[in-house]
Structure 1
């Protein structure tokens, strides 16, 4: 039996040295096709039960199941390998079989046993909890275990990037994705990485690649994903002027600022949200905002937080806090903190966002990892029509709220009019 394949996938088809195999690439690169072919070859070689998973079960019929069926017919094996649709399966003459499940029906995962090979197709659509649940389902008394994950790249805040590449918040790096784009295939520990592009698929018409190239003009985000096959920031950044500098450099600038240009803001949180305190300094002439100190913790009672922020009682710095928590503010005031509630009104989220955007530069100390994580790549949410929502973001950025509150009694010059920006500015 002979089968023509794309050269970039030849080694991948027969490499079973690592437990995890992570394939990422652009549109039309043929990664899904070669994953399916690889599984077919393996299941002919060894009697196994393979599990193919997508987030939504009903999408299997027209995607993964039909792909297996297509390859089996192309190999001339449809008289030996059966592809029933009720239930969706692929059955081999040696007793091997492929079953299909969706994470939208997790109860049905509990009934499966002796799974030695799992393929997560479009794994970025599956939740991280689902990935960990599937790891627990990957078990067999004798056979070596494998998990194959394939996806188009998405945002760097997706779990696939954090788990297999970099998690900036937790300062964990497994592999620099730029190294993968350069080397194309690489092994790190027990994970085999594979990167592919439409150019690697020799069976694609040139017109398809031309269509991908056209995306560069009208949708740069999609071009990065579809044509270049790269992770990155999906959407429009809220603070494109945000930069990070070494702490010593930032403090050189901060120490020369007038006391009246130093601000502190605090956002309250407990279970899923965070207590975030930010110290800032403003260069009023240059319209630069410096962020040089942060406090960021959750699951802290008010008395414990007050203990950890005790230095503010000595410095008597004014803390502008979330006025939606008057009881908490009162507690801190009773414990000798100089704290006030920031002004809130209908539309204040939007006006506060516009205020921060008016700074020409926002310079953050590298000693503030949570601020960097939340603000550096903060993007706008979009509505159903794809239009940005100017006061909603991809994450709940507690440090951004703290910045809003800290700047409560300061207005940035409106560059359009040259005067002081008011709450009704049309930015």
Structure 2
């Protein structure tokens, strides 16, 4: 019999093992990590299991997950039975259960793990999506039910945790509305136990801590959303706050009503890690609206295969303005009967082209362009080590934005600052 006072918000969570996945997201100081650690200990006392605790960087375990588990073992008065070894980090139970600690920065060491039936991914948003999928494959046991617990503070909606467990616009995957979770706090669906918490759920926190979280609202709204509200969103300054998504038929109807629309096609070349991104666009010059109504977005294809994919541009003699940094590719397409023109690039063109696109009053994208939506809807400006915004760098490498740059390279959007 173990008696331990816990936060009421986590009472049901501690003993619920009904799903394979358990996803805990919340603000700072909500005590989610503490209760995951306690849940681990209770389960391993009850059943003989090998459990794995994972962080992106192995060395961060010592002052976080290992320290927390050891603290709980001592607090429960079980340190004479449960042995916490620090070299290597491992926790052993009297019934043969054990907890081992690994980092995704040393993936080779994961291969030696066998019969793991319980995994905890702490700060899972820091782990790469490929690592998460690999860990699912490591979760195996001949007889015991398998469970994976993921805990994190919310980050950008562009992070894989949001796309996998909530929504992925690009892949048209809709699992759960995160706003519903913030309201209902606990939801079980799709073999996943969802749990949301904030500092208000931790009855052991001093009021001064919550006051500090509230103060963030005045000087850092993004951090306030993450730390105080525990909600996903957009981290940083959006590049295109005027970007919106509309039904494809509505977009085409709007384009057809434009008097003398400017029709342009822009392409960014890629192959291995980057992508071939080709967009078809229409500009409403009177109302300063950019429409994006068609996309081609693919990698791992050579020029010959790409030419086959976009053969309509060859047949219709549609002009493409493309990345001038790849003249051999431009030459190849032109020899095949395409009309490809090198876009102008110059020192500082990234910044100037971005500022130009920002001058559109609206950027309206068809819902049939998922890659464009995925890259531009939550695109934010990068920051340097001092927290200062870098105007021509972003949180991702947006190939569709490059395609827009090239497609509109010689078109100038009216600059209202200079108009009067």
TM-score (norm 2): 0.95
Task: Indicate how the Cα distance of structure 1 residues 346 and 11 shifts in structure 2: closer, same or farther if over 3 A, else same.
Answer: same
Task: Indicate how the Cα distance of structure 1 residues 369 and 204 shifts in structure 2: closer, same or farther if over 3 A, else same.
Answer: same
SS in 1 for 2:352: helix
Distance (whole Å) between structure 1 residues aligned to residue 130 and residue 283 of structure 2: 42
**Which piece of structure 1 moves more, 228-237 or 283-292?**
283-292
Distance (whole Å) between structure 2 residues aligned to residue 268 and residue 111 of structure 1: 40
SS in 2 for 1:212: helix
Task: Indicate how the Cα distance of structure 1 residues 236 and 280 shifts in structure 2: closer, same or farther if over 3 A, else same.
Answer: same
Distance (whole Å) between structure 1 residues aligned to residue 261 and residue 74 of structure 2: 75
List gaps (5 residues or longer) in structure 1. Answer: 420-427
* Distance apart, 1:396 and its partner CA: 1.6
Quote the residue 1:142 is aligned against.
143
Quote the residue 2:262 is aligned against.
261
Quote the residue 2:186 is aligned against.
185
Quote the residue 1:424 is aligned against.
none
Moved over 4 A (4+): none
Quote the residue 1:121 is aligned against.
122
**Which piece of structure 1 moves more, 215-224 or 67-76?**
67-76
Q: How does 1:17-416 map to 2 (within 5 A)?
A: 17-257=18-258, 261-416=262-417
Q: Does the CA contact (< 8 Å) of 2:70 and 2:84 recur in 1?
A: yes
Spell out, residue by residue over 1:176-234, the C-alpha distance to the aligned partner (whole angstroms, 9 max, x if none): 21221121111113211111111111111111111111111111111111111111111
* Distance apart, 1:260 and its partner CA: 6.4
SS in 2 for 1:44: helix
Say what the alpha-carbon RMSD is for the aligned residues.
1.7
Spell out, residue by residue over 1:333-354, the C-alpha distance to the aligned partner (whole angstroms, 9 max, x if none): 2233222111111111111111
How many residues get paired? 419
* Distance apart, 1:400 and its partner CA: 0.7
Q: Does the CA contact (< 8 Å) of 1:257 and 1:281 recur in 2?
A: no
Q: Does the CA contact (< 8 Å) of 2:261 and 2:284 recur in 1?
A: no
Spell out, residue by residue over 1:90-126, the C-alpha distance to the aligned partner (whole angstroms, 9 max, x if none): 2222222222222222232222322221111111111
* Distance apart, 1:5 and its partner CA: 0.7
Distance (whole Å) between structure 2 residues aligned to residue 413 and residue 244 of structure 1: 23
* Distance apart, 1:29 and its partner CA: 0.5
* Distance apart, 1:284 and its partner CA: 1.7
Spell out, residue by residue over 1:289-339, the C-alpha distance to the aligned partner (whole angstroms, 9 max, x if none): 122222222233323333333333444333211111212222222233222
List gaps (5 residues or longer) in structure 2. Answer: none
Q: Does the CA contact (< 8 Å) of 2:158 and 2:378 recur in 1?
A: no
